[in-house]
Structure 1
């Protein structure tokens, strides 16, 4: 991945974060506005029919409404169990004092917004707010005993609290799910970037191997050629016939070296077409070098350039398959074949392990992950028994994969 691509990715991530923060801010403002709107609407509904004849009632309602609006406007993180207790005790004390001075006011409805505020409290204070809500309901019932019990109003208050509390918990669950989804998307992006880096490392390993093969093979041929040419130079004056015969051997060595150069250049040029095939070969070289399993890689027909999305998925599938073979199969030979057909890439992995097909495969996290990767790309994967024993895995991935599925 180039520095330019990495920089663009960082800028896009920062823009997404800014949009997410703005959405969260507006969502929080909307939530506060909804709570304040409910409080104002509630006090409008219980407003006296002739307000100017009951000025003291208006003052009480206005004072309680201001307290509730202040509670609704306070930041959610500001609240804790102790502050909820203080708020309930303060409002209860004020109502008791006013009730002593004016025996008819305030009535039980003055505590309904308090039930509402306890219902929309942060779920982490559920135990404290539920206890305070029970105390508030008892206060409402106590005031009803003095003014006249209305079981319908009492049940309505309790149902309002339950409905608001459940809605608040549901909203919190959605918020938590959204946050976890954002974290999962971030982790997935990091995993994809890591996969591309791993593929680059595997490609570098494969190119290093090719360079070493050229050095060891062609270097030996060229050294032999130089020695024979030096001998030929000394041989020509003394024995021209033998020197002429030696030319044929020197030509064979030269042609063999040229053939090796052509093969190496062809492999190198094929590798430069795309990161995918060379990354697969590099992964195979790494695993083969660190295990006792022989892995044979074969390309069937011409192999073109693969998109990065397709390359990553095939790389991860092969990586998981080889890891499972090393851990569980007990195989000594693995064959990996890649073929392009009808705008699809087929990856075939077979081993000679102890799987016979008599018992069903145990689809653990690894195999399930391979299935999910193929499905997410619009491809398919088939697991079957190999003959005479072992496991055969055939994954088919379309070359055209949208970035949304990736």
Structure 2
């Protein structure tokens, strides 16, 4: 397991894989400090034990660091960290005081603790600097002046001044470094947010441009292609009236009328996709529901709709057009193959997708080799092309067609 993944496991749920959270850097650094301390302190204990020195405080401190990691994972941070800091001073002070006081080599652990405190949080480090100097003063008072070490070092007062000054200077240096790092992180986040906002604005503007282009194309289609197809249909109809029933040109006239009507119907779907808010699931649902109601009224088939209350969301307009073709084909298949007397069209909204369902109470007709169900193959092909999830549930007492379409991320709105 990678180290980053292991440290991420100890983070609270709200911070896992969420580096943009304002508390992420601070808590992640604290977790890192406790994690490495929980490993290094027992190793130091084992090394000193092998050399003949038994310092149980190191084991206690390591266990406390591991315990704090578990508390952090549950979302409890300030209280466990504060308690660990207080207990650390309590368990280390007797070892330092009884091993030479202000002259003890274990005073070095106060410096290590100070670095760890600043690593976790600059404010905690500042408190630790003051407490360390206070602990040094207590050690100074506890240390006897009549020692050989005192003569070599210049006395316990000189040792206290050196340690206190070093502790203060180290604390000040760590404070400046941590503040600089915090400022750099804040500037980086600000720059990232600025870029994200800029991209959102550009996306919104381009989307508005595309919408205007869609409306322009829809108008051009209606004025040019739609009128031309209507003219072809009317002229073919007039030609048909002038032909006798046995005229060899009659089938051709009928074919022109049929193909023109089919092309016009298909063009209307395309026109709707261009001219309307086809990326709105609710608008799409209402359009298909209206088509279904008009279609099934002609065949005495009961048709009803159901929809869940959905939050504002958008879907891919190209996927929307595919859904129009898919469910119009499915609605016609009910009439041609199932013998159903009731049809229900549903739309359900979820967090990441919208699900459209068409179900009937008819009997599923298994496609034969001669007809092949090419419409079903086209449905699957359209879904595959636009990353839609297609499911077919056939049965003797009804058939259900389900298509799930992903929800698009919403860009910010741009004031006009």
TM-score by length of 1: 0.34
- Which has a greater percent of helix? 1
